[in-house]
Chains A and B, each alone.
Chain A
Amino acid sequence: MACDIQQFDADERVKALARKYGYPEYMVARFARFVPDLERFLASMEEPPRTYIRVNTLRINPNALIKRLSDKGFTLRETDVPDCLEVTGEPYSIGASAEFLSGYFYVQDKSSMVPPLALAPQPGDVVIDMAASPGGKTTHLAQMMGNRGLLIAIEVDESRLAGLRSNLGRCGIMNTVLFHMDARDVARLEIKADKILLDAPCTGEGVIAKDRSRKTSRGIEDIKYCSGLQEELIDAAHACLKPGGILVYSTCSFAPEENECNVDYAIKKYGMKVEPIPYGEPGLTSFGGLAFEPQVKNARRLYPHIHGTSGFFVARLKNV
Chain B
Amino acid sequence: MYRGLKKLELTIMRRSLDYWGAFDLSKEFDFIVRQGERNDLFAVTPEARHYVIGREPEPVLAGLHMGTLGKKSLALSMEGAFLVAQASDKKKVKVTGQAESLVVYGRDVFGSSITWADESIRQNDPVIIANKYGEAIGIGRARFDYAGLFQDRVTVSTEADIGLYIRG
Contact = CB atoms under 8 A, between A and B. Distances in A.
Interface in A265-313: none
Given A101-B104, A175-B44, A165 B60 contact: yes
B27 to A, nearest CB: 15
Contacts of B83: 172
A169 interface: yes
Interface of A: 95-96, 98, 101-103, 126, 147-150, 152, 161, 165-166, 168-170, 172-181, 188, 191
Interface of B: 29, 43-45, 47-48, 51-52, 55, 57, 59-65, 77-79, 82-83, 100-101, 104, 131, 135, 137, 162-163, 165-166, 168
Contacts of B61: 165, 168, 176-178
Q: Secondary structure of the A side of the interface? A: mixed
B45 A150 contact: yes
Contact of B62 (A103, A166, A170, A178): A178
B29 to A, nearest CB: 7
B51 A174 contact: no
B118 to A, nearest CB: 20
Contacts of A161: 60
Nearest to B50: A150
Q: Which 9 A-B pairs have the closest CB atoms?
A: A101-B162, A150-B47, A178-B61, A175-B45, A174-B64, A169-B79, A177-B62, A177-B59, A174-B63
Contact of B29 (A173, A174, A181): A174
Contact of B168 (A98, A166, A179, A180): A166
B45 A173 contact: no
Contacts of A95: 166
B165 A101 contact: yes
9 contacts: A98-B131, A148-B47, A150-B51, A169-B77, A172-B64, A175-B47, A176-B62, A177-B59, A177-B63
Contact of A170 (B45, B100, B101, B165): B165
Contact of B57 (A101, A126, A179): A179
Contacts of B59: 177-179
Given A176-B63, A178-B60, 18 more contacts: A98-B100, A98-B131, A98-B162, A102-B82, A148-B47, A149-B45, A149-B47, A172-B64, A173-B64, A174-B44, A174-B64, A175-B63, A176-B61, A176-B62, A177-B51, A177-B59, A178-B62, A179-B57
A27 B162 CA distance: 44
A168 B59 CA distance: 14
A137 to B, nearest CB: 16
Contacts of A102: 82, 135, 137, 162
Contacts of A165: 60-61
B156 to A, nearest CB: 17
Contact of A166 (B48, B131, B165): B165
Contacts of A175: 44-45, 47-48, 63
Contacts of B104: 98, 101
A96 B163 CA distance: 8
Contact of B65 (A149, A169, A180): A169
